[in-house]
Each structure stands twice: as C-alpha cells, then as structure tokens.
Amino acid sequence: MAENEFTQIAGADGQHRTYCRLCEAQCGLVVEVRDGQIEKIGPDRDHPVSEGHVCIKGTSFAAVTCDPDRVLTPLKRVGGPGEFTSVSWEEALDDIAERLQAIVDRHGGAAIGSYKGNPASFATLHSTYGALFLKALGGFKNFNAVQIDTGAKNLAQELVFGSGTDWTFPDIENADMLIMIGANPLVSHMSLIAEPRFLQKLDRIAASEGVVVIDPRRTETAHRYEHVPVMPDSDAWLVGAMIHHLFEAGLEDRDVLEARSSGWEQLREALKPLTPELAESRCGVSADTIRSLAERFARTPKAACYGRVGTNRGRFGTLVNLLIESLNVVAGKFGRDGGWITGLAPIGKAGERPLHPRYGSMRSRIGDLPLVLGSTPGGSLAAEITTPGEGQMRALFVDSGNPVLAYPDGEALSEALEQLDLLVGIDFYINETTRHAHYVLPSLTFLEREDITDYWVRNAPRPWVQFSTAVIEPQGEARHEFDIYNAILARMGLPALFSDPEARSNEAPGLMEVADRMLRIGPFGDQFGENPDGLTIEKLRGEHPSGARTAERFEPEDSWSRVWTDDAKAQLWHEVTQAEIARLLGETDKQEDKLLLFGRRKLGSLNSWMHNVERLVRNEAPTLMMHPDDAAARGFFDGQAVRISTPTGSVEALLEVTDEVVPGAVCYPHGFGHKGGWQRANDLPGVNINLIASSRPEDWEQVSGNVHVDGFPVSVEAA
Ligand SMILES: Nc1nc2c(c(=O)[nH]1)N[C@H]1C(S)=C(S)[C@@H](COP(=O)(O)OP(=O)(O)OC[C@H]3O[C@@H](n4cnc5c(=O)[nH]c(N)nc54)[C@H](O)[C@@H]3O)O[C@H]1N2
Ligand SMILES: Nc1nc2c(c(=O)[nH]1)N[C@H]1C(S)=C(S)[C@@H](COP(=O)(O)OP(=O)(O)OC[C@H]3O[C@@H](n4cnc5c(=O)[nH]c(N)nc54)[C@H](O)[C@@H]3O)O[C@H]1N2
Ligand code: SF4
Ligand SMILES: [Mo]
C-alpha cells in the first residue's frame, strides 16, 4: 500500500486516522506507519471538530509508545521498591489470582480496592468495567481522581440538578460572555468542555461581551483576556456576593426562579449578609468589580459562569460550586442558548435518571463521610491500608494512575503501599506508585487499541463521536486492561465482564460489542434498525473515520429535560447549602504569617506522566512563584533556594519572584519529583508538591471529601 493512503489495518504501512486520548479535546490525528512502526503523528484536517488542531503532546505521543523505558512484559517484584524481574503472563496472572482468592476467602471483598486514574476516562468503558471487576470480587472501594478534581462539582450538580454525572458546562459556541473561575484553558485545553478549537470560541466571546478570568495567577488565559485577581480559596465570597447583588439590584430572572426552581428565597435570605464589601475583605476583589461583574453577567442574555479545578480543592469547594450552579440559574442562564447547558453521552440510553449511587447512600470507612458518586476518597488510600479493623484494605489494583504523585502525602502512601498483601499496577511505565507493586502488568498505549469517544464528548458544544481502530499492533507483550481483568476472573472461576450473570460463562462479549450495543440504543444510535440513519460502530468505522458530528446544535433548552430532581426543578436550597453558607460566614478573618499555596499546569506536562519525553521537558524547571512584595518582606531574591513547609512535610524549591501571582499566595505545579522507571523524568528538577499537602480526613472538605491542595497555608524560609 502506498504510504500516503489511508488504512485501518493495525500496523499496515500508510496513514491511520485516529484521535488523541490525552485530554478532553480529543483532537483528530493522522499517524504515518511504516514497517509496523510510527513514523510521524500530525493533525487530522478532516476531523469535523478539531479541523486540524493538535498540540505538542499529541504529536509527541510516539515517544511514549516507543519509549525504551516502557514496560513490555509482566514484571514481578524481587527486592526493594522498583526492583523487578520479567515473568510470563501465565506466572503473573496465576499468582495474582491465587493471592487474590486467598484474600477474598479470608477477608472478603471489602479488603480489595481499585484505583483508576485519569487516562482511564479516555478508554472505552474503562471506568465501568474496572468497577465491574471489583464488584465481581465483592469489592466496592473505587478510588479515582474524583476527590482531587471534580468531586465538589459532581456534588453541586447532584444537589441542584439531581445528577452528579450530567455535567453542566458553558455553551461556548454561542455565548457572548464567559466568566471563568479557576480554569486555564490555554494550557489545559479545556476541562469538562470538549472543544479542541476553544481558542477561536473564546476569542469570539472576548470580542463580544468578554471573557473574565478569575484566578490568583495572571495565567496564560488571564493574560489574553480580562483578569480579575483573587485570593486562593476565597471564591465562595466572590460568587456569593455576586448572587447577593443580583437580588439586591432586582436582576434575578424571576420567571425562571418561580417556574423552574425551588428554594431561591431561602438562598436570597441566607446571602443577605454576604455583601460585596464583606466579600472584598475576604477575596481581594473590590466591591465595585463584584457589582459590575454581576450586572454585566445578568444583562448579557447569552452568558455563563464556569468553574474548574481551581474551584474544587479549597476549604469551600462544594459551596463555591453550589453557588456557581445557582448563579447560572438565578441569572436565567441555565438551559439557554449561549448559556449553561448539559449534553448527551453517545453511549447508553438517553433520557433516563443516572444510576450513580446517591450522595449519602455510602460512607467512607476512613473519616466517615458521605461518598460522592460512590467513589472512595483518594485521601484515605493510605489510611485504608494502615487502619486495622473490618474492611482493612489488603489488595489494590492501580490502573492508569499514580496516586503517590497525584494525592496528598505521597510519603505516607508510599509506606502504606509496602504493607499490602497484593499490589498490582496496570501501566506501561513503572511510576512512583507502581514501583511499590508486587506485579506491574504492561498495558497498551492508545495507539495500540480501538476506542470510541464514549464519555467526554457529552460535554461538547459541537457534539461528535469517533471510533478509532488500533494504529499499530501491541508492542511487546502489552495487553488490554479488559483482557487482563477477564484473565484474572477466569482463573478465579468467575464470569467474564459483561457476561450474562445467569449464564455464569467465561465467554466474554468483546468490549466493542458492548460499546456498539450501547451506541446503538443511545441518542445517536440506529436503535437496531428503527433509525436507519443512526450510528453503529461499523458505520463510524466505514463512513466516518475522522469522526461524525452527531447534531448540528444541541437544543440548550433540553438541558431542563435532564434535571433529575424529584420536582424537575433546580434546587437552590439544600441543608448542605445552608450549613456551608453559615460556615463561610462564621469564618474569622485570619491574619497569619502564612502564604497560601496553589498549583498550575504546564503545556508539555500531563499530570505526572509525560515527563519522559525529551521534546516536552527540555526546558522544564518548576519554580515556586512569589509576589515581589512577599519576597521583599522576607528578603528573598529570584532564583534563591527556599524551603516550603507544612505540618505534613517540607520540600525545597527554587524561587521565582513575579507579580504574576497575587500577594499572599505562592504557586507550584504538581506531578514532579520522579523516581519511577523513567530515566529522563527522574533527572528532571522539581519536587512532588503533594508531599506537603495533608491527607488527614479532618483536613478534607467535609461535604465532598475533596482534598485541599489549592490555597493551603505554607511557610517559606531560605533553604
Ligand atoms: N497538587 C495537585 N495534585 C493534583 C492535581 C493538581 O492540580 N494539584 N491535579 C489532580 C488531577 S485533576 C488529576 S486528574 C490527578 C491525576 O492523577 P492520576 O490519574 O492518578 O495520575 P496521572 O498522573 O494522570 O498518571 C497516569 C498514569 O497512567 C498511565 N497511563 C496512561 N495511559 C494509560 C493507559 O491507557 N492505560 C494504563 N493502564 N495506564 C495508562 C501513565 O503511564 C501514568 O503512570 O492528579 C491530581 N493531583
Ligand atoms: N497541559 C496540560 N493539560 C491538561 C492537564 C495537564 O496536566 N497538563 N491535566 C488535565 C486534567 S487531569 C485536568 S482536570 C484539566 C484541568 O483543567 P483546568 O481546570 O483548566 O486546570 P488548570 O490549568 O489547573 O487551571 C486551574 C486554575 O485554577 C487556579 N486556581 C487555583 N486555586 C484557585 C482558587 O482558589 N480560586 C481560583 N479562582 N482559581 C484558583 C490556578 O491558578 C489555575 O490557573 O486539565 C487537563 N489538561
Ligand atoms: S490538545 Fe489534548 S487532545 Fe489535542 S493533541 Fe493536545 S493533548 Fe491531545
Ligand atoms: Mo484531572
């Protein structure tokens, strides 16, 4: 086959259309393959939504798939952390199944846990079958990134709209104004919004009524648009005061409030004391700015207020997110063209109440907190292992994740992991977590597997769906996670994933068979023939190799049909709202000599795991950013070595004196401080900033269980 011809045969010479599974933009890619190996990765200009957009991470991905440090055979631990020897799949799987069986027999399924990291959300049904695997063993400890990423937002959506998984997001395709709190899309490429061409969209909004970026740092995004600097961990004051002012000025949308919401009067009363003047004293944004922002927002018909990770990890994450959802309702932006909307997942039946465990239906063993979406707080991972008693965790699967770098107090977690009877890592790298494993099982990179965009495209202002064949054959002995789990279940005499429970058969339906069924009954599916124009995987593969647009436009109004509260109204008052507003107003204005530490992301990094790619990390040297006033007050200079301390620990960093950050706060990126099986990354400067963040349950945000990694107090001294 000629090199410039398109092909869908894994490993065949020619060009392969696929998509990037690193971030939510999921850009279309064209990969050139020769002699079974990747020659080049470029943009897919035929992709209906990314239209040729890519970033340096996507086009550098061959360096991951072909990384000489990649794990290509099962590894068995033979010494201290990181000391492994290659073994056969048979040996590894037999031993894992046997040990697992012994643990289940002796301690029951509660002793088993599973951690699925961020990349799992980009692989077809991975979170679903990962949870089914655990359930098959009688387990229910599902750890993931929820309580360090989205937990407060999930909970706020559940309380206001009745679903933690029908994400609300701004219709950036049609909005004229966007308020963005704690998000930096110029680096992250947008989160909870799937729109690869976001920059075009934001520029258009900026040229209309404006993009306002509320952030303690003058980020890349803030620099391009309007920046409102704010103290970390103080957004509840700001957003609460905006709602206060809307009511005060009579700018609320009465029609919406009366017909489609409940509890707005209680919210209005509770926020009466939260004046813009009081908010100014707590968040550093002037009362005038708060008032004018609220007025601009209310008076722009097509506007939305969006909060992302920076709103989730403070002491009031749930309240901030409740107030953001509420602000959008009070100002009449929910379910409006160019406003605040929900989307449709292509997979699974639409128009049904989501099945996730309701808030409060389960509680954590550590900290005794109600669980959000049934997910076990990652902050409890170490304590689940070290705390004796019923349900003590003895076995853990870490699949697509790296909690030692991702979660607070990685030191305590590293020590705890060593106490497990069985730790299995499923990854193509030995990372800071899997180096503690008894076995590391090699998985595929996304270029070696088929996938369908099953999850994040539900948050697309211009919805699409794409199926990709595998670009190359699996490297070495790497296997699909789905097959690994099934192989373990088979050895334990348990039915295969997704098989009919009555049949007790080990005959697994293929993963794509399951996905195809779910696509076909989904909102864009062919309904098994009833809707001949609808989609199937076969049709996606044959007719839309670059992806298919599934709807010209969402009907924003339909967002109201996905409100799952009992009365189908937006619920603006809840006991959580009440308690959290009271807690906020009861806060004393502490004037400690502490600086509040918050994080940042870098264009060439992806959380903890793209640091082995030379091209991405060449100039990577994380610094602690500090405002010139704070540096002068301490006699610090640019480039100086400093020690950052908390009661949990201390680390050293290089200081960068810059007025990019607000006075009173310091900024350091997460995901550094490597000691995995990656030669390049281990050489990088930088520390694991989560070593100094607390994982103690009393330090979690007590409503959502989110850990506090943005805006926590630290002291900084000369090193
Ligand atoms: N202080 C601080 N901490 C943070 C954050 C922060 O902003 N500040 N951000 C948090 C956020 S938002 C997140 S999502 C978490 C992320 O934390 P995690 O989800 O735990 O971890 P990652 O760093 O993304 O590491 C992913 C691992 O999965 C592996 N991997 C990649 N693709 C695949 C695959 O297809 N299959 C398998 N089996 N493995 C794969 C990689 O090699 C890597 O080892 O970190 C959180 N931690
Ligand atoms: N290049 C790159 N892209 C990524 C990732 C990556 O690691 N690198 N990670 C991916 C993942 S897992 C996620 S979840 C998304 C996240 O996507 P975004 O939510 O856009 O993430 P960040 O870039 O971390 O932006 C968070 C912003 O919040 C600000 N912030 C911190 N604390 C506060 C606060 O208290 N109040 C306010 N108002 N702002 C605050 C920070 O300064 C930062 O600018 O990005 C994804 N995309
Ligand atoms: S923006 Fe995200 S999806 Fe697109 S190429 Fe970069 S990492 Fe991949
Ligand atoms: Mo994330």
Query: Which atom, in ligand 1's list, is nearest to the CA of 433?
Result: 44
205: nearest Cα among 222, 223, 225, 188 = 225
Q: What is the domain partition of the chain in residue ranges?
A: 75-149+359-442, 163-345+570-584, 591-718
Q: How far is the CA of 90 from the centre of ligand 2 (A)?
A: 42
CA of 146 to the centre of ligand 2 (A): 14
Phi, psi of 184 (to 5 degrees): -135, 70
Residue with tokens 């109004």: 557
Residue from 213, 240, 73, 280 nearest 660 by CA: 213
User: Is residue 693 a contact partner of residue 707, using CB atoms and an 8 Å limit?
Assistant: yes
**Backbone φ, ψ for residue 295 (5° rounding):** -70, -45
DSSP β-bridge partners for residue 395: 112, 422
**pLDDT band (50, 70, 90) for residue 620:** confident
What residues does the ion ligand 4 have nearby, CB within 5 Å? 149
Q: Is the pLDDT of residue 505 over 80?
A: no
* Cβ-contact 297, 332 below 8 angstroms: no
Burial call 403-442: b when 16+ CB within 10 Å, e when fewer? bbbbbbbbbbbbebbeebbbbbbbbbbbbbbbbbbbbbbb
Could you tell me how many residues make up the chain? 719
Query: Looking at the domain that runs over 163-345+570-584, which CATH code has it been given?
Result: 3.40.228.10
pLDDT for residue 333:
98
State the Cα–Cα distance between residues 565 and 576, nearest whole angstrom.
Answer: 15
Strands 439-441 and 451-452: unpaired
pTM, two decimal places: 0.98
CA distances to 51, 178, 193, 337 from 206, in Å: 22, 8, 18, 17
What distance in angstroms lies between residue 111's CA and the mean position of ligand 1's atoms?
24
Per-residue tokens: 418: 């060593």
- The strand ranges marked E within 477-568 are 548-549
Euclidean distance between CA atoms 628 and 688, whole angstroms: 24
Q: Mean pLDDT across the stretch 583-589?
A: 90
For residue 146 the two structure tokens come to 């929820």
Q: Whose CA is nearest to atom 47 of ligand 1?
A: 406
**Tokens of residue 618, six digits:** 């060449």
Q: What is the pLDDT of residue 351?
A: 82
- Please name the residue that has the structure tokens 């994080």: 599
Instruction: Tell me the three state secondary structure of residue 114.
Output: strand
Mutate which of 21, 56, 181, 184 for ligand 2 pocket (most atoms within 8 A of beta carbon) = 184
| Angle, CA of 118, 213 and 190, to the nearest 5° | 25
**pLDDT for 553:** 75
Q: Whose CA is nearest to atom 27 of ligand 1?
A: 401
Residue 180: CB within 6 Å of ligand 1? Answer: no
| 3-state per-residue secondary structure call for 445-489 | CHHHCCEECCCHHHHCCCCEECEECCCCCCCCCCECHHHHHHHHH
| Residues 133, 140: Cα–Cα separation, whole Å | 10
Q: Rounded CA gap, 531 and 525, in Å?
A: 7
Classify domain 75-149+359-442 by CATH number.
3.40.50.740
Structure confidence by residue, pLDDT tens digits, 657-679: 999 999 999 999 999 999 999 99
Q: How far is it, in rounded angstroms, from Cα 13 to Cα 685?
A: 39
Return left, alpha or beta for 141; rule: phi > 0 is left, psi -120 to 50 is alpha, else beta.
beta
pLDDT tens column, 323-352 = 999 999 999 999 999 999 999 999 999 888
**Which residue minimizes the CA distance to atom 44 of ligand 2?**
184
Q: Which atom of ligand 1 is nearest to the CA of 709?
A: 1
More confident residue, 588 or 133: 133
Give me ligand 2 centre to Cα 416, in Å: 29
Give the three-state DSSP class for 33.
Answer: strand
| CA 58 to ligand 3 centroid distance, Å | 5
Q: Is the CB of 25 under 6 A from ligand 3?
A: yes
Residue among 100, 79, 85, 80 nearest 423 (CA)? 100
Mean pLDDT, the chain, as a whole number? 96
Q: Is 23 in the pocket of ligand 3 (CB under 6 A)?
A: yes
| Residue 101: CB atoms within 10 Å | 16
What is the Cα–Cα distance from 440 to 288, expressed in whole angstroms? 56
Q: Which atom of ligand 1 is nearest to the CA of 426?
A: 38
Q: Rg for the chain (alpha carbons), in Å?
A: 25
Q: What is the pLDDT of residues 192-244, one digit of tens each?
A: 999 999 999 999 999 999 999 999 999 999 999 999 999 999 999 999 999 99
**What does the pLDDT read at residue 3?**
54
Indicate if the pLDDT at residue 554 is higher than 80: no
pLDDT in tens, 142-156: 999 999 999 999 999
* Tens-place pLDDT, residues 234-265: 999 999 999 999 999 999 999 999 999 999 99
- Quote the percentage of the chain above a pLDDT of 90: 95
Q: What is the pLDDT of residues 432-462, one digit of tens each?
A: 999 999 999 999 999 999 999 999 999 999 9
Domain 591-718 has CATH 2.40.37.20: no
The H-or-E segment that residue 656 falls in is: strand 650-657
What are the tens digits of pLDDT across the range 83-95? 999 999 999 999 9
